[in-house]
Chains A and B, each alone.
Chain A
Amino acid sequence: MRPPDRLRAMGRALLFRRSLSLLLVLLVFGGIMTAAYPDIFLSRYNFSSILLNMSFDVMVVVGMTILLIGGEVDLSVGWNLSMSGVIYALLMTRLNLPLAVALPVTLAIGAACGALVGWIVAYVGVNSFIATLAAGLVYYGVEFWLAGGQSVTHLGPEVTSIGMASWLGQQLPVWYAAGVVVVFLYLMNRTKAFRQYTYIGMNAQVARYSGIPVARMKLLAFVISSVLASFAGLISAARFANAILLVGQGMELKAITAAMVGGISFTGGVGTLAGALLGTLFIALVNNAMIIATINAFWQPIFIGVVLLGAVVLDVVLLRVGSSVGRTRPTSKAAQPPAAPE
């Protein structure tokens, strides 16, 4: 390969692989921040706080990404997260259950909720947008009802034991998120079972005709997403010693935004978990930079909104370029006689 060709190939790789281009943007962004605020941005404290803030988002993003790749969406994760924190706290404070019971029970409730919603979507055939929107409302109501409209505050040491400690200089939630990331990166990148989500998201009907267990895999994705949201919720309650009623509000949209900035498509089948995680990191860094630069907080959603729009516009443009450049011959639809309906 001659050098210009290689350059062009690299250029195309950068353009077409969102994770690569996003990584580049992140590096440039990090460089600028380091140059502008060398003492603050690169400090260990700042680093830890970015990671801690990200860790709850990351767990939700992982579940959301699996669903989005499989062609579905879960709009209930935010309220699921809040409700799970409340359930966990109430199980221990009001029912005086030990941690060893409260933790698995909370996760089991999360799994059951995910399974029910997943069944409604995958087997009954309700659109996931609507089914999860409804589920989110239910979680929201249930949480307020259980908690009597008040956040559960001043949680005791047993409740917070799984959230408050540090290990190797990082707080526990960061390690949990890291664990989730490692496990699911492996599952999504390497395993046959999770590879099926790409097929399902690309075209669920073709996947079904190919013997891929579409409904079962979709149900599983809803369970995973729901359990991860539950886990993030109870860890959040433990870390902050409060089960705050509104802690997860808007989390679903945040996660979708991060995934799409990271190259996940809303139509399914496109993008990688690594890309979505980079998208999450990008949003976390932007938030952090705005705090450091003491830019008024309302600029943050404006900036993220613009970035998201830019990313999806780029996708649309690339799709057009890709379908006209990457051709071997002018074929596809044009080359076939329209199926004559005779």
Chain B
Amino acid sequence: MTMGAAGEPGRVVLSARDIEKSFPGVKALKGVSVDFRAGQIHAVCGENGAGKSTLMHVLAGAYPADSGTILYEGKPITLHTQHQANTLGIAIVYQERSLVPGLTVGENIFAGRQPRRLGLVDWRAVERGARQTLAQLGLEIDPRQLVVELPAALQQMVEIAKALSVNPRVLILDEPTATVTQRESEVLFGLLRRLRDGGLAIVYISHRLAEIFQIADHVTVLKDGAFMGTEEVSKVDEKWLIKRMVGRELYVTRAPSPEAGERILEVEGLSDGDRFREVGFHLRAGEILGFSGLVGAGRTEVFQTLFGLRARQAGRVRLFGKPVRITSPREAIALGLGYLPEDRKEQGLFVEMAVCDNIVAAALDRCRRFIELDRKKVLRFSEEYRSRLSIATPSVEQKVLNLSGGNQQKVVLAKWLLVNPRILVVDEPTRGVDVGAKLEIYSILRQLREGGTSIVVISSDLPEILSIADRIYVMCEGRIAGEIQGSAATEESLLSLSSRFEPPGGPARPAGGEA
């Protein structure tokens, strides 16, 4: 293969024209038009849910657009599969790793299209081809090495090498620095600049603003699926970006914050030795506390640790004035904590079980009569919470699988309400639910607070946090970046705190990348 097949820099290679894409209940892209040019790095940025990833998926053929045109080398194309996009010359590297860790670098680069000889895989050709590809990228990686043995950044490079081995003219990178350290990012940026200078059109998705100024030539901002503008990076500053990224309507008007009660949860110097360190905060009785920050900032991990789902390395936790050391969710629940997890299907719901079985799952002890599980109590509690949260299901014996996303989320909420926690942590409580269910969930949370439950809302949705939190902590790169009163917070202030710290380059992660 040859690197940088594309022609003179500046020529438009790939264009999107008025691309629209809807998912049930959400309009993910509302007429987006962008040009991507050879020999340039074009950043696409926006908040969570702005439509960046959707746009990239459409451009890479992973799903079809509802309307609009994609032009490749000036000609309109219709993509049905990603393979088709690859063949044309559009390659994508997803956020999630696609490498098989137990195979060698060479095998991964040639996965699915190994050179053959006499019907057998020609391993020498694989090795030779991989060595050549890696050398062209300036990477000193042995193609015979197992992927699992490589540090994160080098795995990322192999991922890029794999994408480039189809000899594309456009390379799309979806948050390539999400899992690598800053030092490793530098190596990656070096590679990207070399590829750009070779004439490749690079589309770079990121929500780390600092990176855009480091690496990109052009930047396009999306907000709620709408195109907010494209500009040369040299002509804009961070303020310009933030101004275009934010400004969505609040979902509900803010309720006045209640009198702050005493501190019922105090956390000091909490570290898990991996995803977060030195985290300290407190929660007051009767407040809704927001935890904001970018995905991967460590918010979820902090509360998983408090709930006994992750091991803690250091730190002190005082709950209702008493020092506690929680090692299992069972203990946490017994102490009055509830945690509604972010992944509904993998952590929150038994999708193959009935609504009633789900609602009582965390509170089986409340449905007990001596050692027996009292089916009547199960049904009574489920009916009670079904009507209280107006869960739309023909029967509580219906499988959860058959409910809509919003109703599924209400089932998880019901499950945690039945536990009757004094502190309820909700992690991305409205992810994947429609606007109507969102508003219902907010009003349930407010009612809960009035009933004396203190609430922590972890959310990547800025308008959500701004409209319901009385006080907000912002996390960045595993640390608390700041604390703001809900009434004083703005999307701008939350966003700038979210990128306050550089990614850790220190000893927290294995350093690597001698390439």
| Residues in chain A within 8 A of chain B (CB atoms) | 190-193, 195-196, 198-199, 202-203, 205-213, 269-270, 323, 326-329, 331-332, 334-342
Contacts and interface: CB of A to CB of B under 8 A. Distances in A.
A339 B49 CA distance: 9
Given A326-B399, A341-B96, A202 B350 contact: yes
Nearest to B62: A338
Contacts of A323: 401
Interface string B351-386: 111000100011011011001110000000000000
A210 B415 contact: yes
B54 interface: yes
A328 B329 contact: no
Contacts of B114: none
Contacts of A326: 399, 402
A207 B207 CA distance: 34
Contacts of A336: 23-24, 405, 432
The interface centre, meaning the residue of A192, A206, A342 with most chain B CB atoms within 10 A of its CB, is A342
B348 interface: yes
Given A190-B372, A338-B23, A332 B401 contact: yes
Contacts of B333: 211
Contacts of B367: 192
Given A191-B371, A337-B28, A328 B402 contact: yes
A195 B373 contact: yes
Contact of B53 (A193, A195, A327, A342): A342
A328 B393 contact: yes
Contact of A337 (B25, B350, B352, B362): B25
B373 A191 contact: yes
A217 to B, nearest CB: 11
Contacts of B415: 210
Interface string B309-350: 100000000000000000011101100000101000011111
A43 to B, nearest CB: 40
Given A210-B329, A328-B393, A337 B432 contact: yes
14 contacts: A192-B365, A192-B368, A206-B348, A208-B329, A209-B347, A213-B328, A332-B351, A336-B23, A336-B432, A337-B24, A341-B94, A341-B95, A341-B174, A342-B49
A154 to B, nearest CB: 44
Nearest to A339: B432
B202 interface: no
A193 B174 CA distance: 46
Contacts of A190: 372-373
B264 interface: no
B404 A331 contact: yes
B328 A210 contact: no
Identify the 4 closest CB pairs spanning chains A and B, nearest first.
A337-B23, A192-B373, A210-B362, A211-B333
B267 interface: no
Contacts of A270: 352
Contact of B364 (A195, A205, A269, A338): A195
Contact of A328 (B207, B295, B352, B394): B394
Contacts of B208: none
B135 interface: no
Nearest to A191: B371
A209 B401 contact: no
A339 B347 CA distance: 15
B402 A329 contact: yes
A268 to B, nearest CB: 10
A326 B403 CA distance: 11
Contact of B372 (A192, A196, A329): A192
A342 to B, nearest CB: 5
Given A332-B351, A337-B24, A342-B49, 7 more contacts: A191-B371, A192-B373, A209-B347, A211-B329, A328-B393, A328-B398, A342-B48
Interface string B17-58: 000000111101000000000000000001111111110000
B244 interface: no
B35 to A, nearest CB: 22
B329 A209 contact: yes
A294 to B, nearest CB: 45
B446 interface: no
Contacts of B24: 334-337
Contacts of B309: 208-209
A92 to B, nearest CB: 36
B366 to A, nearest CB: 10
Nearest to B364: A192
Contacts of B329: 208-211
B372 A209 contact: no
Contact of A331 (B174, B295, B348, B403): B403
B431 interface: yes
B353 A202 contact: yes
Contacts of A269: 350, 352-353
Contacts of A213: 328, 330
Given A193-B371, A196-B364, A329-B404, A342 B23 contact: no
B341 A209 contact: yes
B409 to A, nearest CB: 11
B401 A340 contact: no
A332 B407 CA distance: 11
A31 B347 CA distance: 49
Given A269-B352, A335-B24, A340 B54 contact: yes
Given A192-B372, A195-B373, A332-B402, A340 B28 contact: yes
Contacts of A212: 330, 361, 364
B350 to A, nearest CB: 5
Contacts of A198: 353, 357
B382 to A, nearest CB: 15
A117 to B, nearest CB: 22
Given A210-B361, A331-B403, A334-B24, A340 B348 contact: no
B138 to A, nearest CB: 29
A338 B362 CA distance: 27
A206 B349 CA distance: 6
A209 B344 CA distance: 11
Contact of A205 (B47, B347, B352, B372): B347
The interface centre, meaning the residue of A192, A193, A203, A205 with most chain B CB atoms within 10 A of its CB, is A192
A181 B432 CA distance: 46
A212 B373 CA distance: 14
Interface in B398-456: 398-399, 401-405, 415, 419, 431-432
A38 B132 CA distance: 81
Nearest to B22: A337
A212 B363 CA distance: 9
A206 B347 contact: yes
A331 B401 CA distance: 8
Given A192-B373, A196-B364, A341-B174, A205 B401 contact: no
Contacts of A196: 364
A9 to B, nearest CB: 13
Contacts of A340: 28, 49, 51, 53-54
